[in-house]
């Protein structure tokens, strides 16, 4: 039976990895401090999800700025769980799995809060954009996960998880969520298509 050869990652360092390197001076001391307090990386992951859920609830009530501030503050929390695991020597596949799944829940909860709010207002176009943005977000992650299941890794795309956070959180703080929804609805799905093309090219090379 022909075996699928895992492709080498030739796509360089992602924006997320670059920022982890740039802010290592901040993340490492804070992560070490939290470890000394007895907190675990999974605790930080769950705290991030809880915080984003609270932010999403505020969005569903139309309190965009306050919900956006909470979601903005959850960004560093999301970055700390991986740092804490690395410092504890506990970086592993299950931790990365939990972190990835929780990220998807967080993003869907946030977009769900916006979807609920716009449906309550009878604003069908923003509600549709929230749904399309959520679909694109899921597909960006799914295309990579599905590719990895056949031995191919793909990280390409104009709007990965970090970029979506950078677009969405400030837009909520400044109460312009519709701008973020347009960007995410279009570019998240473009990113999914970019990954499909990337996987196709790599599969043909194999």
Query: Any catalytic annotation for residue 103?
Result: yes
Residue 44: both structure tokens together: 């930080």
Residue 181: both structure tokens together: 């929804």
CB 116 within 8 A of CB 60: yes
Catalytic residue among 78, 81, 99, 103: 103
Distance CA 47, CA 45 (A): 5
Q: What is the DSSP string of 33-70?
A: HHHHTT--HHHHHHHHHHHHHHHHHHHHTT-HHHHHHH
Q: What count of residues does the chain have?
A: 206
**Which among 149, 164, 11, 19 is positioned nearest to 79, based on CA atoms?**
19
**Residues assigned a catalytic role:** 103
């Amino acid at each position: 039976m022909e075996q699928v050869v895992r492709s080498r990652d030739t796509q360089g360092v992602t924006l997320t990895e670059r920022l982890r390197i740039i802010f290592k001076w901040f993340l490492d001391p804070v992560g070490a401090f939290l470890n000394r307090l007895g907190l675990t990386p999974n605790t930080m992951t769950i705290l991030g999800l809880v915080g984003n859920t609270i932010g999403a609830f505020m969005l569903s009530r139309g309190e965009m700025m306050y919900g956006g501030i909470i979601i903005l503050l959850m960004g560093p929390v999301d970055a700390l769980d991986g740092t804490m695991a690395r410092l504890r020597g506990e970086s592993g596949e299950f931790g990365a799995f939990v972190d990835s799944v929780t990220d998807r829940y967080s993003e869907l909860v946030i977009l769900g809060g916006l979807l609920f709010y716009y449906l309550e207002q009878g604003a069908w176009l923003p509600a549709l954009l929230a749904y399309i943005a959520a679909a694109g977000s899921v597909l960006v992650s799914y295309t990579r996960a599905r590719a990895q299941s056949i031995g191919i890794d793909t990280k390409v795309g104009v709007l990965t998880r970090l970029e979506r956070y950078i677009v969405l959180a400030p837009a909520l703080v400044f109460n312009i969520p519709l701008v973020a929804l347009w960007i995410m609805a279009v570019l998240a799905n473009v990113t999914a298509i970019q990954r499909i093309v990337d996987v196709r090219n790599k599969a043909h090379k194999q």
